[in-house]
Amino acid sequence: MLKKFRSRINNWITNNMELPADVMMDLPRITMIGQIHIYIENHRGLLKFSDTEIRLMLKQGQLLVKGNSFVIRTILPEEILLEGKIDQVTYLEE
C-alpha cells in the first residue's frame, strides 16, 4: 500500500513540478548513439556480461542488451558505457 502511495506522489511531483521522471521514479536513463554505443545510468548492478549479451539489474526488473563484439568501456556503481554492435534492448519485468 505504501509503495503505491509513494509511486502516486512521485508521479504527481514529476508531472506538476516538471522534474525528470528518471530522477523522481528511479528509472534507468538510456542513451544510444546509433548501434555502436549505449550509456546506461541508474542501474543496480551487472548480472551477466559476454561479448553478445549484457544484463543489468534495475530497481524494478532487468535490462537486457543483445548484439555482438561487446566491450565495457566504463563501469561505475550506477553507470555503464557499452560499445559494440547493439541489436536489441529489452526491459524484463520481474
- CATH code where residue 39 lies: 2.60.40.2000
Give the count of domains, the chain. Answer: 1
The whole-number pLDDT of residue 46 equals 97
Has residue 22 been placed in a domain? no
Q: Has residue 22 got a pLDDT over 60?
A: no
Domain that holds residue 50: 27-92
pTM, to two decimals? 0.75
In a domain? residue 1: no
Q: Are 89 and 80 in contact (CB under 8 A)?
A: no
Among the listed residues 67, 39, 69, 43, the one whose alpha carbon sits nearest the alpha carbon of residue 56: 43
Question: What are the strands, taking DSSP E only, across the chain?
Answer: 29-33, 37-41, 45-49, 53-57, 62-76, 79-92
Tens-place pLDDT, residues 53-65:
999 999 889 999 9
**Which residue, among 62, 20, 29, has the nearest Cα to 44 in the 3D structure?**
62
According to the model, what pLDDT value does residue 26 have?
75
Residue with C-alpha cell 541508474? Answer: 42
**32, 42, 41: which is closest to 83 by C-alpha?**
32
Is residue 79's pLDDT more than 60?
Answer: yes
